[in-house]
Amino acid sequence: MPASSALRRREFTRPVEGRMVAGVAVGLADGLGLDANVVRCGFVVLAVASGLGVIVYGIAWLLMPSDPEGSSRREPVGGDAVATCAFGAVVLGALLLVRALGLWPGDVVVWPLVASLVGLALLAMRTGTGTATAELPDWALLRRLPPDAADAVAVLIGTRRGVLARIAAGIACVAVGLAAFVVSVDSWSALRGTLVASVAVVIGVALVVGPGVSRLVHALVEERRERIRADERADVAAHLHDSVLQTLALVQRRADDPREVVRLARMQERELRAWLLGGDAPDASAGSSLGAALEEVAASIESEQGIPVEVVRVRDCGIDGAEPLLAAAREAILNAARHSGASRVAVYLEVEPDQATIFVRDRGRGFDPAAVPADRGGISHSIVGRMTRVKGRATVRSTVNEGTEIELVLPLTKTIEAS
């Protein structure tokens, strides 16, 4: 693989298989085409010489995504006992070499630091592999041991109890390391080295604990989202049960009465539509707008009289001050539904800046307006009278056998704003 393409960031992933701490070294080694142990030694030397190794490792850890499916393209080294021993020897040798070369910050710093790093590595094994469950590890090392011993090791390392033991060991190592620093501080120069090392350890702890904490937070968020989703599903189910299923049951029982079936279906359709469009509060807007109130009037007359009432709205306005218009419209729709004999009633509302108009139309039997005695209640009182009292007007057009249309006009004052 050409180095240029290998250096693209997404080429570097942290394979789950073959990792010792978090898989950074294996991943880098795979990406760069090196042996993982070479990379590991590099990290150790850098870490011991200046603490830089820990920081580089941590940054690489953050940048490289974990690849649960991925396994090192090379022979996994982490689980092999011989390779592990060899690795340990190389590390020790590197330490001694560095010491001999004079890059040594002092025993006071290095050995506690090594202890801390071992502790961190122990802790990281848990968060790094991401399996804190009781799954038994499948390591090459285990396969070489006799079955009984292998079981014991697996339980110790792989189970929850094993994890606890490892965490305890890790914390103990870190604590010993830190304690060693504190105890051995006897001069300012040593203190400076100690501070550097301590900062490195703190950063290391943050890096080790960080992924676990973020995973925990993520899991909590996910769980909460799941609960909200479940609640919503339950709401929908409850609503469908209370409305649609009930109506369907009624429809089955009234199957011999087509008019009633249509009435039920229309009623349910309206309700479901309002619920789908308006969310969970279909009645919330009813009190506030003329259009919504008109729809509600139409719906109630429709279910009382069993005749579809279709409402078409062009814009809307507040209900305050428009109550007489609504009452007159109600009367007109009721008349049409009761007396016209039409199969449906069409209602049209249009709100303009200076007036609100409602048309109620049916294609029923109609009548001759001139022939209606003036004292007959319905139209003259409740519709025409109501409208003239609020300086509006009502016009009735009707032709025998063709139908009736009632036009209601209400001038809008400043208090009733068109919207």
How far is CA 229 from its chain centroid? 9
Q: What is the CA radius of gyration of the chain?
A: 41
* Closest to 377 measured CA to CA, from 385, 369, 387: 385
- The correct pick among 19, 263, 330, 361 for binding other proteins (CB under 8 A) is 361
How far is CA 385 from its chain centroid? 57
By CB under 8 A, residue 296 contacts other proteins: no
**Separation between Cα atoms, residue 374 and residue 376, nearest integer Å:** 6
Rounded least distance, CB 285 to other proteins, Å = 7
Planar angle of CA 340, 342, 346, nearest 5 degrees: 100
Rounded least distance, CB 346 to other proteins, Å = 3
Binding mask 145-184 for other proteins (x = CB under 8 A): ----------------------------------------
Contact 21, 28 (CB under 8 A): no
Contact 20, 74 (CB under 8 A): no
Rounded least distance, CB 274 to other proteins, Å = 11
Alpha helices by DSSP H, listed for 241-309, are 246-253, 258-278, 290-305
Contact 112, 181 (CB under 8 A): yes
User: Closer CB to other proteins, residue 17 or residue 405?
Assistant: 405
Local structure of 18: helix, strand or coil = coil
User: Closer CB to other proteins, residue 231 or residue 352?
Assistant: 352
Considering only residues 46 to 85 of the shown chain, the ones binding other proteins according to CB under 8 A are none
User: Closer CB to other proteins, residue 62 or residue 314?
Assistant: 314
**Separation between Cα atoms, residue 186 and residue 153, nearest integer Å:** 42
Strands (E), 303-413: 309-314, 345-351, 355-362, 393-399, 403-411
- The correct pick among 310, 388, 393, 411 for binding other proteins (CB under 8 A) is 310
By CB under 8 A, residue 367 contacts other proteins: no
Choices 25-33, 102-110, 165-173, 346-354; region in contact with other proteins by CB under 8 A: 346-354
Choices 17-25, 175-183, 185-193, 356-364; region in contact with other proteins by CB under 8 A: 356-364
By CB under 8 A, residue 273 contacts other proteins: yes
By CB under 8 A, residue 240 contacts other proteins: no
How far is the CA of 97 from the CAs of 24, 36, 92, in angstroms? Answer: 24, 20, 9
- The correct pick among 12, 57, 87, 359 for binding other proteins (CB under 8 A) is 359
How far is the CA of 319 from the CAs of 277, 286, 316, 326, 418, in angstroms? Answer: 21, 9, 9, 9, 10
| Count of residues near other proteins by CB under 8 A | 19
Choices 49-57, 160-168, 271-279, 331-339; region in contact with other proteins by CB under 8 A: 271-279
User: Closer CB to other proteins, residue 65 or residue 369?
Assistant: 369
- The correct pick among 156, 230, 240, 314 for binding other proteins (CB under 8 A) is 314
Contact 26, 72 (CB under 8 A): yes
By CB under 8 A, residue 303 contacts other proteins: no
Choices 72-80, 83-91, 160-168, 310-318; region in contact with other proteins by CB under 8 A: 310-318
Binding mask 382-411 for other proteins (x = CB under 8 A): -----------------------x------
Pairing of strands 345-351, 355-362: antiparallel
- The correct pick among 185, 348, 378, 390 for binding other proteins (CB under 8 A) is 348
List residues bridging with 14 in a β-sheet: 66
* Closest to 302 measured CA to CA, from 257, 255, 341, 270: 270
User: Closer CB to other proteins, residue 246 or residue 399?
Assistant: 399
* Contacts to other proteins by CB under 8 A: 273, 277-278, 285, 292, 308, 310, 312-316, 346, 348, 350, 359, 361, 363, 405
